[in-house]
Amino acid sequence: MWVLFGGGLVALLLYVAAVNSNFMGLFGRMPNLRTLENPKSELASEIYSSDGVLLGKYFRENRTPAEYRDLPQNLVDALVATEDVRFEQHSGIDFKSIMRAVKGLGRAGGGSTLSQQVAKVLFKTRPGEESNLNDGKLNGSGKLGLLITKTKEWLLAIRLERNYTKREIMRMYLNTVDFGSNAYGVNTAAKTFFNKKPKELTTPEAATLVGIVNAPSRFSPKEHPVRSKRRRNWVLQQMSKYGYLQPGELPKDTAQAIVLHYNVENATQGLAPYFRTEVAKYLQTWAKETDHDLYADGLKIYTTIDSRMQAAAEKAVAEHLALQQKWFSAQWKGQLPWRDESGRVIPNFLETSMRRTQRYRSLMAQYEGNKDSVNYYLRHKYRMPVFSWEGEKELLMSPMDSLAYYKRYLRAGFLAVNPLNGQVKAWVGGPNYKYFKFDHVRQGKRQPGSTFKPIVYTAAIDNNYSPCFPRPDVATTFPGVAGRPPYTPHNFEGGFSGRTFTLRQALARSMNSITAWLVYKLSPEVIVEYAKRLGITSPIDAVPAVGFGASDCSIFELCGAYGTFVNKGVWTSPIMVTRIEDKNRNVLREFVPQTKEAISEETAYVM
């Protein structure tokens, strides 16, 4: 008997040693000491305004860590009473719980301690998870694979207990566990379900969150409120059983309803969604160069946006567009608004537009180019939420109907920049980010029209024309060249007065005749050169109509150009981010705008 016992003990020790050392590559690797001392879980990066307001987050797993001092005692008590009642006594493995689990075949509860659960989540020990711990020849999803996985979790739990205090392990657990609804860690879970900080949670609310972690989908208070309440009440009973509740608290707490303030964070919510998307694009290059992960490293990104100006800008754009949309819809009621220069309906406009969409490309790939199948699904109607200025509503539409619906909506972009330092203070890329992802500040480029004229007059002033230089309001004709007939621009009113105006007066009145004369005298090529000097990076055609904004550019470029006049002739690139810190508040980079002397201070002053 003693021989069998001794042999079994030796075999067990040899097995544990083999797993720990990954003998012959059979069991998969184990984390080294450095990894153990610096466990990494994905943390959401936070983006802040210049006045300290949290604008939003970048994440794959929405997790913001909490310090132990931020954890309420009722939450810690609920977790211990439910998941690991001997948490303070064991050293990573609770043999009593293991024997209870084996005896009850798991029906009386599992045998994993909180330390083991931390090991499982942090080091992704389970087969199928992205981890190099499962690369052994014997790893798999069978019973042997499960035994190896459990053994690793026991070993890792013991190591965690040796390297961390109980409070640190508790903090790790509550910062890593999945609560469902894309809420990872108690900070995010408290905000998602109750719109509170962890410290503000009541005992029933803390018990609700603890009840979720065992099976987030099954016990979600949003999706399964009755089941979640039963689970919460069981947690409260466990707390009472182990002395964490005062006499009389249990009936009072279990009687309470679960009152949710449920809100899952996503990129469409909050201030400045178009701006945050552009910042993410901008920082991806920096992240790649510096080996950072914008969506997992818990970075703190401080931007130039002023939250108060941003809120005012979003309100102004919404009010303006809603009013313009009302007029537009009344004007085109019962008519198709997609027209050519002659006012004729553009043939096959919607079909051509649909072919440029991702939906069309996906359907073509799914049905291997079968246009009959694609057209069927493009015209198949189903209920869908759509945007309206009266609020989101649900309509019965086909994808083609949806395209026609949104093609009737007006869009706009808004940008406010401090010209002295280039800091972007407000950025509105469209009417609603959820439904209109296209950004009309930087992504969208349109003919700037008369807003381009100051660039023409800058070239004139810089080439020795005075603001008081007189010029009659008469026609200027550009001679025809190969492939282009003669061109005579007219004023907005259609004719010419013959009166004499100074250049200052002509710009104030946005007179096409005198602008055309300046382009003719200076040459379109000179106008293009000044546009580039003032920060216009979009291609500008050197044609007679250049002075009237015939070539597309963005308002992002125009704001930089206009800022040059205020900034004494120095062009300053609009800047969005001031600094980035890591999760420990160490400054990783500070950003300064690019500058260059575009025009003389005298010319800028005159302009």
Query: Angle at the Cα of 417 (from 414 to 422), degrees rounded to 5?
Result: 145
Cα of 118 vs its chain's centroid, Å: 28
* % of the chain at pLDDT higher than 70: 87
C-alpha torsion angle, residues 283, 288, 292, 298 (rounded to 10): 30
563 contacts 594 by C-beta, under 8 angstroms? no
Place of tokens 């060249």: 481
**Lowest-confidence pick of 18-22, 43-47, 357-361, 552-556:** 18-22
Of 47, 53, 44, 110, give the one whose Cα is nearest residue 83.
110
Tokens of 185: 């860690």
Residue 462 pLDDT > 70? yes
Residue 62 has a CB neighbour count (10 Å cut-off) of 24
The type of residue at 131 is S
**Confidence class for position 118, pLDDT limits 50, 70, 90:** confident
**Lowest-confidence pick of 107-116, 126-135, 349-358, 461-470:** 126-135
List phi, psi (to 5°) of 200. Answer: -90, -5
**Confidence class for position 389, pLDDT limits 50, 70, 90:** very high
pLDDT value for 113: 87
- pLDDT tens digit sequence for 399-434: 999 999 999 999 999 999 999 999 999 999 999 999
Please state the rounded mean pLDDT for residues 110-123: 80
Question: Domain residue spans in the chain?
Answer: 1-30+75-173, 177-264, 338-407, 449-606
β-bridge pairing 587-590 and 577-581: antiparallel
Q: Which DSSP helix (H) or strand (E) runs through 225?
A: helix 225-241
Q: For 449-606, which CATH superfamily applies?
A: DD-peptidase/beta-lactamase superfamily (3.40.710.10)
Measured distance CA(134)–CA(185) in Å, rounded: 25
173 contacts 114 by C-beta, under 8 angstroms? yes
CATH 1.10.3810.10 fits 177-264, yes or no: yes
Tokens of 486: 């003669």
Instruction: List all residues 6 or more positions away from 171 whose beta carbon is below 8 Å from its beta carbon.
Output: 65, 66, 67, 68, 71
Residue 547 pLDDT > 90? yes
Residue 141 pLDDT > 80? no
Please state the rounded mean pLDDT for residues 154-164: 84
- pLDDT tens digit sequence for 487-540: 999 998 888 999 999 999 999 999 999 999 999 999 999 999 999 999 999 999
**Lowest-confidence pick of 49-53, 146-150, 549-553, 586-590:** 146-150
Q: What mean pLDDT, rounded, does the chain reach?
A: 89
- pLDDT tens digit sequence for 225-263: 999 999 999 999 999 999 999 988 999 999 999 999 999
Looking at residue 260, the DSSP 8-state letter turns out to be: -
Residue 132 pLDDT > 80? no
* % of the chain at pLDDT higher than 90: 72
Better pLDDT: 23 or 536? 536
CA distances (Å), origin 112, targets 82, 98, 270? 12, 7, 40
Give the residues across from 472 on adjacent strands.
Answer: 500
